Amino acid sequence: MDEASYKILIADDNMSDRMILTAIVKKMGHTVISASDGLEAVNQYNEQNPDIILLDVMMPNMNGQEAAVEIKSIAGEEMVPIIFLTSLQDASDLAACLESGGDDFLSKPYNPIILTAKINAFSRMLKMHKILQQQKDVISENAEHLLNEQQVARAVYDNVAHSGCLDLPNLKFLLSPFSVFNGDVLLAARKPSGSVHILLGDFTGHGLPAAIGAMPLAEIFYGMTAKGFLMEEILREINSKLKNILPVGYFCCACMANLSFRKKEMEVWMGGLPDYYMFRKDSNEVEHIQSTHLPLGVLSSQAFDATTQRLPFNTGDKLFMWSDGIIESRNDTGDLFGEERLKQIFADNQDRSLLFDEIEHTVNIFTGESGKDDDTTMLEITMVEESEIGEAAIDLSSGAIHGPTDWKMAYTLRGDTLKTFNPLPVMLNILNDVPSLRRLSGQLYTLMAELFSNAFEHGVLGLSSDLKSSTEGFTKYYQQRAENMENIGDGYVCFIFDHKPTDAGGELIIKVIDSGDGFDYKLKKDSDFKVEGYSGRGIPLIRTICETLKYSGNGNTVEVTLHWDAEETE
């Protein structure tokens, strides 16, 4: 039994007929408004907005059918059932009524039972329609909320990612503006030494769950890279973080790369992404770099393997990195783009500088209308001369205006710790406490990195950098490095920092002692220390940063000095 009370318009030109209908409808508990012709019916609809209309077909001024058309057009999306009152018998006449906008008809003589049943049926429909409208409104409101939230999330993410250097001249990339919500992340940042760290990540899932993982990942990446941490340390930290915050089954397929413009070398870690292609300028060949690790966020810290692959990367060489969006993209008929098509693009290509565009173009044509760049994330890295890249602008702003100017500190790493711990960020941090040294952060980091590398690899591990001059030697060098690391024993590297104020500003003396056998430095002349490439102990580089460089002991001790001028600092 229907509880709702509706407003019902009765339009009939015959008075007695109207009286009967009014009596029936009022008895049902509804309110009645009346009209005696079509025009009046339309006006009444406009003014009173009845819920249901009983409309006589034959009326003067405007007949029922015309009135119905008018009323339905005024009503628009709102539901207003119209029941035609008619003594028409002909089926085609009745059909014409319904076509003009009527929803039902009632014939004379008016049967109260039938009319009641019809009105009840329509009132049920009205209720349902109302519920649907409400749900529709809720849904569209929610959709709007979600869109707003996504925009806010994107803005937050952009702030986290702002310090990136994807705009470097040797990088070309393709990334959807909504990539965060596809789970795709592309980050690039410079280390204090000038090297570039790159991270391409592909989170499982879409939308906010994917974006949520991207933010701590970006923070760790940028923060640690700026402080001079190594790739392995950053990966370990990210893996640990993601393992903690993501639920089981969620992870991030990723590739991280470290590009050294000085050494013309690339270090790569890949977990869960399809093969990357490296184009070699000299041989014109394409090499594949494969994923050798599980994605980030799967393994515990103990089980995590941060081992990287090291490859020479010479001027003109190109590395192509991507998410699985290219291979997994589909066309209208559901076919996969697949790896074969990608290989074909590389095989057919005539001009390597056009490769990137050719890939983008081919994928777009393949996916046609159905796909967009939304899931295609791609990066091309070309190795260039260091001079083309410029220096890193590091912002390591920290508090103190007045720092320590007269101090001495020794820091020694021994045995197993020497094997696994990277002291550079810690030491750089201490030096940065001297405000004027902060502006020299980049140089200091580079200097300490060279000194440490010499002391560790050539000194403690006893490796000769001559090995690196050929490609096979390159691999052999790192193999031997790994072997010698196992036998480090009591090996050690010691850094001694001595900082004194001077009239002009300050003086920093860094002494590095290692436990190795040293080398016969007296025999070496300046010209023997090569400037470029990977041979030598980077002596010329050190010389450009420091004023003096002195070897002592058996060659296992080196001391450099560096002055800074108060006037030059702001």
Q: Which residues, 6 or more positions from 376, have their beta carbon under 8 angstroms from its beta carbon?
A: 174, 176, 322, 323, 325, 326, 329, 360, 363
Cα–Cα distance for residue pair 295/305, rounded to 1 Å: 11
**Radius of gyration for the alpha carbons in the chain, expressed in angstroms and rounded:** 39
Question: Using the rule CB under 8 A, is 292 a contact of another protein?
Answer: yes
CB of residue 89 to another protein, shortest distance in Å: 10
> ∠406-544-385 over CA atoms, to 5°?
130
Cα–Cα distance for residue pair 9/23, rounded to 1 Å: 13
Question: Using the rule CB under 8 A, is 14 a contact of another protein?
Answer: yes
Of 8, 10, 20, 560, which one interacts with another protein (CB under 8 A)? 20
Q: Which is nearer to another protein, 59 or 168 (CB)?
A: 59
Of 31, 61, 120, 204, which one interacts with another protein (CB under 8 A)? 204
Which stretch in 248-256, 398-406, 452-460, 561-569 sits in contact with another protein by CB under 8 A?
248-256
Count the neighbouring beta carbons within 10 Å of the beta carbon of residue 495: 20
Q: Which is nearer to another protein, 7 or 330 (CB)?
A: 330
Is 506 within 8 Å of 499 (Cβ atoms)?
yes
Question: Using the rule CB under 8 A, is 248 a contact of another protein?
Answer: yes
* Bridge partners for 379 per DSSP: 173, 321
Structure token digits, residue 246: 């993501």
Question: Using the rule CB under 8 A, is 205 a contact of another protein?
Answer: yes
Number of continuous H segments (helices) and E segments (strands) in the chain = 18, 20
Residue carrying the six token digits 């590091």: 394
Which stretch in 21-29, 307-315, 350-358, 427-435 sits in contact with another protein by CB under 8 A?
21-29
Question: Using the rule CB under 8 A, is 108 a contact of another protein?
Answer: yes
String of contacts with another protein for each residue 68-97, x by CB under 8 A: -------------------x----------
Of 7, 49, 96, 112, which one interacts with another protein (CB under 8 A)? 112
User: Residue 335 class from Cβ within 10 Å (0-12 exposed, 13-18 middle, 19+ buried)?
Assistant: exposed
CB of residue 123 to another protein, shortest distance in Å: 20
CA 285, chain centre distance (Å): 31
Structure token digits, residue 144: 């709007």
Cα–Cα distance for residue pair 110/556, rounded to 1 Å: 115
CB of residue 140 to another protein, shortest distance in Å: 26
Structure token digits, residue 379: 């990066």
Q: Which is nearer to another protein, 62 or 165 (CB)?
A: 62
Count the neighbouring beta carbons within 10 Å of the beta carbon of residue 98: 14
Of 16, 92, 283, 527, which one interacts with another protein (CB under 8 A)? 16
Which stretch in 122-130, 200-208, 460-468, 488-496 sits in contact with another protein by CB under 8 A?
200-208
Question: Using the rule CB under 8 A, is 272 a contact of another protein?
Answer: yes
Task: Report the interface residues with another protein, using CB under 8 A.
Answer: 13-17, 19-20, 23-24, 27, 58, 60, 87, 108-110, 112, 202, 204-205, 248-251, 253, 271-275, 290-295, 298, 303, 324, 328
